[in-house]
């Protein structure tokens, strides 16, 4: 480690005491919430840490806006957010989640002999938690820890379709849906129609919407309450997947069986 320079020492000494105190409180909040798997509401956090109500609400708002905490809309309970998990990957390299779900993902890959992926939703992006490559030469742009716009992928559409209608519309306010190929959905009304169809059918498809020549089909992974907590997919070159129609049916039984086995393993993230 390089020695600290005098200018750095001076800058550290000049840092406002309030900034240091706020940083300490942020870490205290994260440590506290991380230790309560069932989450804590604002009152419980305030009582445990003996923090002023006004400053606590400001810190909780910043942590939630940045994705380090997630507040359940109904119970108003805070849990550790996806961004905190992403930061943890810099140290853990996804070891724990891989240990839990890796065998199931590899078994699905072996059964289908195609590339399979698992993702969760963060805002309007799907974030990849696991990926198992097939033996085929095709390689995808996705990877563990990376994110893609949810409206462009089968995984993402399953995850978006799992949101409450009001929350989905709220997330889309002021957003322009970027087009990556001629097949990408760039119209919000059309996206909402497609998501309604996903809710009805229980699966989503993507045919060249982010990567030309690639077909993907995905299904939801649900918690005990029925909430969509993740999505699992299979990706196939469009030429090998066959024509439109019932091609998804070739992959859905294996995907749905895997999603059922993954559900209890995903409980800590639900």
HEC string for 63-93 = HHHCCCEEECCCCCCEEECHHHHHHHHHHHC
The pLDDT assigned to 97 comes to 63
The pLDDT assigned to 98 comes to 64
Contacts of 253 (CB under 8 A, 6+ apart): none
Element of type H or E holding 12 = helix 6-14
The pLDDT assigned to 88 comes to 67
**What DSSP string runs through 92-141?**
HTTHHHHHHHHHHHHHHHHHHTSEEEEEEEETTEEEEEEEE--SSS---S
Contact 47, 40 (CB under 8 A): no
The pLDDT assigned to 270 comes to 52
Strands 69-71 vs 78-80: parallel, antiparallel or unpaired:
antiparallel
The pLDDT assigned to 9 comes to 40
Contact 224, 268 (CB under 8 A): no
Give me the numbers of helices (H) and strands (E) for the chain, helices first please.
11, 8
Q: What is the pTM of this model?
A: 0.66
The pLDDT assigned to 73 comes to 81
The pLDDT assigned to 8 comes to 37
pLDDT in tens, the chain (270 residues): 344 444 434 444 444 555 788 888 988 998 898 888 788 899 999 999 988 888 898 899 999 888 889 888 888 899 988 888 777 665 544 455 667 788 999 999 999 989 999 999 989 999 888 888 887 666 566 667 678 999 999 999 999 999 998 899 999 999 999 999 998 999 999 999 999 999 999 999 999 898 888 899 999 999 888 899 999 999 988 877 666 667 888 899 999 999 999 988 876 555
């Amino acid at each position: 480690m390089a020695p600290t320079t005098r200018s750095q020492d001076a800058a550290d000494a000049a840092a406002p005491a309030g900034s240091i105190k706020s940083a300490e409180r942020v870490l205290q909040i994260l440590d506290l919430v991380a230790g309560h798997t069932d989450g804590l509401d604002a009152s419980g956090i305030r009582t445990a840490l003996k923090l002023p109500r006004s400053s606590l609400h400001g810190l909780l708002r910043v942590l939630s806006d940045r994705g380090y905490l997630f507040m359940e809309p109904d119970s108003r309970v805070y849990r550790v957010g996806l961004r905190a998990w992403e930061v943890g990957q810099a140290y853990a390299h996804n070891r724990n989640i891989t240990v839990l779900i890796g065998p199931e993902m590899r078994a699905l890959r072996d059964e289908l002999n195609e590339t399979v992926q698992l993702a969760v939703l963060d805002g309007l992006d799907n974030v990849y938690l696991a990926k198992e490559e097939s033996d085929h030469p095709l390689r995808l742009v996705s990877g563990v820890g990376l994110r893609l716009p949810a409206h462009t992928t089968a995984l993402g559409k399953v995850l978006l379709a799992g949101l409450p209608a009001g929350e989905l519309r709220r997330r889309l306010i002021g957003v322009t849906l970027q087009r990556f190929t001629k097949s990408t959905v760039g119209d919000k009304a059309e996206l909402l129609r497609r998501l309604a169809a996903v809710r009805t059918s229980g699966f989503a498809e993507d045919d060249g919407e982010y990567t030309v020549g690639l077909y993907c089909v995905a299904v939801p992974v649900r918690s005990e309450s029925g909430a969509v907590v993740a999505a699992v997919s299979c990706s196939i070159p469009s030429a090998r997947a066959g024509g439109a129609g019932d091609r998804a049916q070739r992959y859905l039984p294996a995907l749905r069986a895997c999603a059922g086995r993954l559900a209890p393993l995903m409980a800590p993230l639900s």
